[in-house]
Structure 1
């Protein structure tokens, strides 16, 4: 009970925000695997004891920031990115549209961790959609979603996460490809699963 009360305390929330902002700020300068708790403490202007009062390690801070980023992803998109198919943009594109989180996407030391977290975030909503559109069972729908999320992440990483004309063109191409592919899977398999 005391733990829950501490988490809602205004000072606690302020300190946690300072820690998260410090980590985000540092990630503009160096990779996550090179950041230390001391770096974050100096930037947040807190002691190590204060840091450990709120978090066990930097990975826990990273997790909390990612949770916030994924919760905020739709609000991060600008008007010029408001395509009709916006809701079908992969999480990586929605989250990376907010410059605050962009250092995560450019940091090779956390790429595998990040893309897997984004994928897991999409599973509850997208797997049932894929199953409905294709007739695939849950396992195959999940694997197809993994292909789409990891593939989109790779393409966008290759493009440097820039939202330029090439990015817009590729989003259109990938959307057409994915939509036609889902339709073709549904038509050709007709709900019949290979064993």
Structure 2
């Protein structure tokens, strides 16, 4: 991709974040984003159809940073605490303000929260594809992980909380792995 395009898109995304720092999303206009990004409306529309797409693009960047950590939690469930610590230190804390903006209920259907729920459900379903009731279990798992992330972002999470969550995850995974083995034996 052309460097100018990359730079322009980055400028528009940064402008959106600046606007979010002082306004509700519903109050932000394309004109305000363009003014902050120092670009024209035609330049904005050359890259994005609407302001929701800008939020979506920012959210997808964060998802791509989180994806390898989520895969690790399934590949190495016993290392859950160290993975969560790394994720917190390398992604959540440095981008805390951005993530807080993107976790706003106003974005529930198209922002970071929606992408996170999809990621967590996909990871769960990939790992436990043969489990009965997997769809509802994936939803429950995704909601729990999202709750954990929110508590980390809001500085409500303690080491003891993370240890408890890690223990619950290990119990859940052991139970699901046992269920998988039983289903394979019956086949």
TM-score (normalizing by structure 2) = 0.72
The match for 2:107 is 110
Secondary structure of residue in 2 paired with 1:84:
helix
Query: How far has the Cα of 1:42 moved from its partner?
Result: 1.4
Instruction: Tell me: CA distance 1:111–1:168, structure 2 relative to 1, closer, same or farther (3 Å).
Output: farther
Q: Any residues of structure 2 matched to 1:1-195 within 5 Å, and which?
A: 8-73=1-66, 84-85=79-80, 89=84, 96-97=92-93, 98-99=95-96, 101-113=98-110, 114-131=112-129, 136-137=131-132, 140-157=133-150, 159=151, 161-163=153-155, 166-187=157-178, 190-191=182-183
Relative distance call for 1:126 and 1:188 in structure 2 (3 A) is: closer
Q: Which residues of structure 1 form unaligned runs of 5+?
A: 1-7, 77-82
Give the superposition deviation at 1:136.
0.6
Distance (whole Å) between structure 1 residues aligned to residue 161 and residue 61 of structure 2 = 27
Query: Which residue is 2:72 aligned to?
Result: none
Partner Cα separation in structure 2 for residue 16 and residue 38 of structure 1 = 15
| Alignment coverage as a number of residue pairs | 170
What secondary structure is seen at the aligned counterpart in 1 of 2:52? Answer: helix
Q: Choose between structure 1 and 2: higher helix proportion.
A: 2
Deviations 1:148-187 (Å, cap 9, x if unpaired)? Answer: 2212323543x372346x3332222112112212323444
RMSD across aligned C-alpha pairs, in angstroms? 3.2
SS at structure 2 position matched to 1:56: coil
